[in-house]
């Protein structure tokens, strides 16, 4: 099995209802936010314009594109895509087609390639794709989620969706798998997935984990969103030890430092 270099995916949200307000920004802050993330050590910057927090409602794709358009144009004009990879956190065909023409190279699809047309677009642009597992949809995903066996159920989901991606000409080297921490999972489900993350390495795809400031931390150690950095880093360092190579987070500088220290210890 391949080993992958650890990469940090920084999160930027172009909407007013993302659960962590420090990740929100408008197009006037685009240059400063991106330059700071690059300086702090981001390898990938993931930009979204629609909240996917529990209970959130879908937004019309024209509204989503309008929120993103000026930001994407600045990224393209300043050629930031030559310094860092850009990912779009969206499953909208309109949005995906627009950004893949403007220097973006990764589609972060929380619906896990359910839409055949998303598969076609990813294949057309030879982009990478994040296949994330989510039970139901954001508006109801936390309504008593149940699994026969959370690890095996998600393993079967990945197997099916990888086969689908392959049928559209998307190779495994272009596929990133995300178990979807907090997306239709209880605390126990999340902990089991993190503990058994290495199991999913048999697909020979990169594994992404994004637990940044999520409510599972509050369930373990009661805390407000802005006070969950320590818990976030604890989860992400353990995830790296268990096979994750892409860490999606809000706090790039702190993660870069923590990962460098972990690597120094492990490589001694």
Residue 25 has pLDDT above 90, yes or no: no
Which residues, at least 6 apart from 146, have a Cβ–Cβ distance to it below 8 Å?
none
**Mean pLDDT lowest for which of 27-31, 64-68, 116-120, 124-128?**
27-31
Residues 145-197: pLDDT tens digits? 899 999 999 999 999 999 999 999 999 999 999 999 999 999 999 999 999 99
Residue 170, domain member (yes or no):
yes
- In this prediction, residue 7 has a pLDDT band, given cuts at 50, 70 and 90, of very high
What pLDDT is stored for residue 103 in this prediction? Answer: 98
Please state at what angle helix 252-266 crosses helix 30-40, rounded to 10 degrees.
10
In angstroms, rounded to a whole number, what is the distance separating the alpha carbons of residues 222 and 10?
A: 25
pLDDT in tens, 95-110: 999 999 999 999 999 9
Cα gap 1→239, rounded to integer Å: 17
pLDDT for residue 138: 75
CATH code, domain carrying 46: 3.20.20.20
The rounded distance, in Å, linking the Cα atoms of 53 and 225 is: 13
How many domains are there within the chain?
1
Residues marked as catalytic? 214, 248
Q: What is the mean pLDDT of residues 82-93?
A: 97
The answer to whether 96 and 53 are in contact (CB under 8 A) is no
Task: Give the span between the Cα atoms of 158 and 155, in whole angstroms.
Answer: 5
φ/ψ of residue 123, rounded to 5: -65, -45
Tell me what pLDDT residue 20 has: 55
Bridge partners (DSSP) of residue 188 are none
The answer to whether residue 2 is domain-embedded is no
Domain-embedded: residue 93: yes
- Domain-located, residue 200: yes
SS3 string of 160-226?
A: HHHHHHHHCCCCHHHEEEECCCCCCCCHHHHHHHHHCHHHHHHHCCEEEECCCCCHHHHHHCCCCHH
Is-contact 107 96, C-beta < 8 A? yes
Residue 73 lies in a domain: yes
Using an 8 Å Cβ cutoff, are 135 and 92 in contact? no
Give the chain's largest Cα–Cα span: 52
Bridge partners, residue 207, by sequence: 177
> Can you give the pTM of this predicted structure?
0.94
The parent domain of residue 142 ranges over: 7-266
Q: Considering Cα of 158, then 163, then 168, then 174, what sign does the dihedral take?
A: positive
What is the distance between the alpha carbons of residues 75 and 212, in angstroms, rounded to a whole number?
24
Is residue 17's pLDDT more than 70? no
- Cβ atoms of 71 and 47 within 8 Å: the answer is yes
Chain segment 250-267, per-residue pLDDT in tens? 999 999 999 999 999 999
Strands 44-48 and 175-178 come out as unpaired
Provide the pLDDT for residue 21. Answer: 60
Report the distance separating Cα 152 and Cα 114, nearest Å. 19
- Decide if 1 is inside a domain: no
């Amino acid at each position: 099995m391949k080993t992958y270099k650890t990469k940090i995916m920084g999160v930027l949200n172009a909407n007013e209802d993302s659960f962590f307000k420090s990740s929100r920004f408008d197009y006037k802050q685009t240059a400063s936010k991106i330059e700071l993330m690059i300086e702090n050590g981001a390898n990938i910057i993931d930009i979204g314009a629609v909240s996917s927090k529990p209970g959130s409602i879908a937004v019309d794709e024209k509204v989503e594109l309008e929120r993103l358009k000026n930001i994407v144009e600045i990224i393209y004009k300043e050629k930031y895509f030559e310094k860092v990879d850009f990912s779009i956190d969206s499953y909208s065909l309109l949005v995906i087609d627009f950004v893949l023409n403007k220097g973006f190279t990764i589609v972060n699809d929380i619906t896990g390639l359910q839409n055949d047309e998303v598969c076609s677009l990813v294949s057309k642009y030879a982009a990478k794709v994040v296949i994330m597992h989510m039970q139901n949809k954001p508006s109801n995903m936390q309504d008593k989620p149940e699994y026969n066996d959370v690890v095996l159920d998600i393993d079967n989901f990945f197997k099916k969706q990888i086969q689908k991606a392959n049928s559209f000409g998307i190779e495994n080297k272009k596929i990133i798998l995300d178990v979807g921490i907090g997306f239709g999972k209880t605390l126990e489900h999340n902990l089991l997935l993190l503990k058994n993350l290495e199991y999913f390495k048999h697909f020979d795809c990169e594994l992404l984990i994004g637990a940044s400031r999520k409510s599972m931390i509050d369930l373990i150690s009661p805390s407000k969103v802005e006070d969950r950095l320590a818990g976030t880093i604890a989860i992400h360092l353990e995830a790296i030890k268990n096979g994750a190579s892409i860490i999606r987070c809000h706090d790039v500088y702190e993660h870069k430092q923590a990962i460098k220290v972990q690597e120094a210890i492990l490589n001694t």
